[in-house]
Chains A and B, each alone.
Chain A
Amino acid sequence: MEMNLKLYTQSENNKKFSAKDIVVTAVLAALLFAVQIGLSFLPNIELVSLLIIIYTLIFKEKTIYAIYIFAFLEGVAYGFGVWWFMYLYVWTILYAVTYLFRRNQSVILWAVISGFFGLSFGALCAIPYFITGGIGAGIAWWGSGLLFDVVHGAGNFVVVLVLYKPIFYILDKVRLV
């Protein structure tokens, strides 16, 4: 029996996931992976948050697929440790928040949202440690990284402020190809 491997989106008009959509999603995921690896030498300065915000605004539901392909690639590259489970929900939370604010036109507000995401990243990532090690271990893990979260928040704010418009422009062209 031939298996039907076609994917379907949850979009309102229930469009099929075409071959082009699959290619675009793969490219989006590969780009997330490339910028994560490329900037990994800079502690907590990253472009992934910015890209996920822009992906969500331009490519909508495809972003979810790109996020999970990206998470899988991260696991393959670095190993599937406790940290990996965080990747299964932190980026999805950013996707959901972006979707909620999708009508926002202000770059500064996107920078603020990305900044808040950076500040809360440690708290979100501490959830598995709260579950596996208890409240003490969770607070200790989160507390020891608070300064990194502040750097992450400031970095996200500046990155969005500077790069939002040019990257949005380029990716919007990709959508139209």
Chain B
Amino acid sequence: MENKKTNKKVIAGLAALALVAAAMVIGYRYLKPGTQAGAKSVQILVVSEDESEKPYQVRTDAEYLQEVMDEAEGLTYSGTEGDYGLMIDTVNGETASYEENGAYWAFYVNDEYCNYGIAEQPAADGDEFKIVYTIGE
């Protein structure tokens, strides 16, 4: 009798787990930010630690910021893969080390802080991205 009860609980638990996981995969499709295909003009401005600015104007069909950065001539970047995508630590050879002085590269789109990783941040025509060396408080 007790075994039957446990088996029912196990089956119900497994079914619920599978249903929630499936709902989350479907939810991801809706919550994923929309993109705009086609020729676009996108600006990227890199602001270094010494506040010097380097602008890049990119004509692109790319849908996401990372692809735009890849196409920006002369712009280099690197980082480490984390739980939520690529964490950029070096831009144009300049490394921001959170461990050393709380520094990181902050990403903005049209002066709003980017809520997504660069692989998921949509790039629309006329967007102005800023990549700013920032020291956290």
Residues of chain A at the chain B interface (Cβ within 8 Å): 43-44, 78-79, 81, 105-106, 108-109, 112-113, 115-116, 119, 133, 136-137, 139-150, 153-154, 157
Count how many pairs of residues, one from A and one from B, have CB atoms less than 8 Å apart in the complex: 81
At the interface, is chain A mostly helix, strand, loop or mixed? Answer: helix
Taking the complex as formed, is B34 at the interface, i.e. its CB lies under 8 A from any CB of chain A?
Answer: no
Q: Is the CB of B115 within 8 A of A133?
A: yes
Please tell me which one of the listed residues B13, B31, B102 contacts residue A108 in the complex, with CB atoms under 8 A apart.
Answer: B13
Q: Is the CB of B13 within 8 A of A144?
A: no
Give chain B residues whose Cβ lies under 8 Å from the Cβ of A157.
Answer: 17
Most buried by A among B9, B33, B115: B115
Give chain A residues whose Cβ lies under 8 Å from the Cβ of B25.
Answer: 146-147, 150
Give chain B residues whose Cβ lies under 8 Å from the Cβ of A113.
Answer: 13
Q: How far is the CA of A51 from the CA of B47 in the complex (A)?
A: 44
Q: Is the CB of A148 within 8 A of B32?
A: no
Knowing A79-B99, A106-B9, A140-B116, the reply to whether A148 touches B83 (Cβ < 8 A) is yes
Q: Is the CB of A108 within 8 A of B24?
A: no
Give chain A residues whose Cβ lies under 8 Å from the Cβ of B82.
Answer: 43
Q: How far is the CA of A149 from the CA of B98 in the complex (A)?
A: 25
Q: How far is the CA of A154 from the CA of B20 in the complex (A)?
A: 11
Between-chain CB contacts (< 8 Å), 28 pairs: A43-B82, A44-B83, A78-B98, A79-B98, A79-B99, A105-B6, A106-B9, A108-B10, A109-B10, A112-B13, A116-B16, A116-B20, A119-B17, A119-B21, A133-B113, A137-B115, A140-B115, A140-B116, A142-B31, A144-B84, A144-B116, A144-B117, A146-B27, A146-B28, A147-B24, A147-B25, A148-B83, A150-B24
Give chain A residues whose Cβ lies under 8 Å from the Cβ of B84.
Answer: 144-145, 148
Closest to A136 in B: B115
Q: Is the CB of B31 within 8 A of A146?
A: yes
Please tell me which one of the listed residues B10, B28, B120 contacts residue A112 in the complex, with CB atoms under 8 A apart.
Answer: B10
Please tell me which one of the listed residues A79, A109, A119, A143 contacts residue B13 in the complex, with CB atoms under 8 A apart.
Answer: A109
Knowing A44-B83, A143-B31, A144-B120, the reply to whether A153 touches B21 (Cβ < 8 A) is yes
